[in-house]
Amino acid sequence: MKLVYLVFAVNSCYCKVVDEPPEGVVIDVEKRTWRYKHAIHKQDELIGHARHLGHHRSGVIGVYDSDDTTQLSAMVHSALGSQRDHLHAD
């Protein structure tokens, strides 16, 4: 399993993929879950799924296994969704 992290860029109008765990990300490899400690709603998410963003525009969006094409497809949808949420936030 090779994890990648979808995060908001410095300019929160964009997001990017990084291969180093961002600060505040906790991974449980056995359970295949992740958690973002800086999120308001601190809950475990399955690897391959995005967290609920609401109106938040910073931090980690999701954690994905880059060896799994289904998860990479989900990451693209999460990236598009994070931008769509931003465009319709007002």
Confidence (pTM): 0.83
Residue 43 belongs to some domain of the structure: yes
Dist. CA 52–CA 38, nearest whole Å: 13
Residue 3 belongs to some domain of the structure: yes
Domain that holds residue 28: 1-60
Residue 90 belongs to some domain of the structure: no
Residue 69 belongs to some domain of the structure: no
Chain position carrying tokens 């598009």 = 80
Q: What is the pLDDT of residue 29?
A: 94
Residue 11 belongs to some domain of the structure: yes
CA atoms within 13 A on the CB side of 9: 8
- Which tens digits make up the pLDDT trace of 28-66? 999 999 998 887 777 899 999 988 766 667 788 999 999
Residue 8 belongs to some domain of the structure: yes
| Mean pLDDT along residues 74-87 | 76
Residue 18 belongs to some domain of the structure: yes
| Domains: count for the chain | 1
